[in-house]
Amino acid sequence: MTRIATRLLTWLALAIAFVVFVFPLYYLVVTSLKTHAELFQAVPTLFPRQPTLASYSSLLFDQGFAQLLLNSIVVGISATALALVIAFAICYPITRLPVRPRMRSFVLNWALSLRFLPPIAVVIPYFLIVRTIGLYNQIPALVIVYTIFNLPLSIWMLKGFLEQIPAEVEEAALVDGGTRFQAFRLVLLPLASTGILAAGIIVFAFDWAEFLFAFILTATPDSMTFPVGVQGLVTQFEIIWNDMAAGGVIAILIPLVLMLFARRYVIAGLTFGVIREK
C-alpha cells in the first residue's frame, strides 16, 4: 500500500517537474502565434484566439531579420570550421604522437582555464583590438572572437574523441607501408568524423546563441546577429511581445534541431568531454 503510494507520489513529482519545466517553452510558442490585438488585452490568454504566423513573416521579411539570420549562420559556420581545424591541429599531436606529458597537460589545462573566464572581462580588450584593426561592425571580427572562445571546448571534445580511437588502427596502416599522412587521412579522419561533426554542432550552437560580443562588436544589419536583433525589439514605449517570441522560437529551433542529431555528445561538450555518456 505504502509502496504504491510512494510510486504514485514519485510519478506525480516527475509529472509536475515536467510541466513546470515545459510550460515556459509552451508559452513562448503561444505568444509568437498571437495577433497584435490579442497582446493588448488586459488579461493575457493561454491559447491564441486566432493563431497566426504573421509575426514570423513580419519579423523575417518586413523587419529584415532574415539578414540577421543569414549573418548568424555565416558567422556560426565560419567560426565553427575555423575552431575545429585549429583544434584538430592541436589535438592530433597531443593524442596521436609522443608529446611530453607536461606539454600536453599545459595545453589542456590552458584550454580548460579559458572556460572559466567571464566574457565581460575580455569584451573591452577585444573591442579595443577590433577597433584598432578596423574590423568593427564586420563579420570577420565575430568569427575571430568566436573561434578563440570556442577553441577550448573544441580541443577538449576532439581530444576525447581522438583518444577513443585505438593507436593500433593507425599503426596498422603505417606497418602496411603507408605514410603518416595517409594513415591520418585514410584511417584516422574517417574514424573521427562522427566526433568532429558532433563537436561542430555543439560549437555552432554556442556561436549561434552568443549575445554579448555580438552586441558590442556590431552596429548595423550588415554584421548584426539574430540574438542582438531580438533583444532590440524592446523599445521605450512598447514591447512587441509576439515578434520577440517569434524571434525566440526561431532562435531555439535551429540549435535544437541540430542538437537532436548530436544528442549523444551534448553532455560531453558541455563538460568539455570530461564526462561522456553511455
CB atoms within 10 A of CB 177: 7
Please report, as residue ranges, which positions from 198 to 237 form the binding site for another protein (by CB under 8 A): 198, 205, 208-209, 211-212, 215-216, 219-223, 227, 230-237
What is the 8-class DSSP label of residue 50? S
Least CB distance from residue 89 to another protein, whole Å? 4
Q: Write the CA distances from 156 to 1, 144, 160, 262, integer angstroms.
A: 50, 19, 6, 16
Query: Is 248 an interacting residue with respect to another protein (CB under 8 A)?
Result: yes
Is there binding between residue 47 and another protein (CB under 8 A)?
no
Please tell me whether residue 19 binds another protein under the rule CB under 8 A. no
Judged by DSSP in three states, 224 sits in coil
Q: Using CA atoms of 192, 194, 200, 202 in order, give the dihedral in degrees to the nearest 10.
A: -120
Residues 121-160 that bind another protein (CB under 8 A): 121-131, 134, 136-140, 143-144, 148, 151, 160
Query: Of 163, 157, 117, whose CA–CA distance to 269 is shortest?
Result: 157
Of 54, 161, 200, 203, the one binding another protein (CB under 8 A) is: 161
Among 15, 19, 53, 256, binds another protein (CB under 8 A): 256
The owner of cell 553532455 is 267
Interaction between residue 49 and another protein (CB under 8 A): no
Candidates 7, 49, 53, 176; binder of another protein (CB under 8 A) is: 7
Tell me how far apart the alpha carbons of residues 25 and 17 are, in angstroms, rounded to a whole number: 14
Kindly state the smallest distance separating residue 33's Cβ from another protein, in Å: 13
Q: Kindly state the smallest distance separating residue 176's Cβ from another protein, in Å.
A: 14
The residue within the footprint of another protein, chosen from 50, 62, 115, 176 (CB under 8 A), is 115
Task: State the Cα–Cα distance between residues 216 and 129, nearest whole angstrom.
Answer: 13
Amino acid identity for residue 155 in this structure: I
Which one among 55, 180, 186, 199 touches another protein, defined by CB under 8 A?
180
Q: Where would I find the beta strands (DSSP E) of 59-161?
A: none
Q: What dihedral angle (degrees, nearest 10) is formed by the CA atoms of 39, 44, 50, 55?
A: 40
Among 19, 57, 62, 166, binds another protein (CB under 8 A): 166
**60: contact with another protein by CB under 8 A:** no
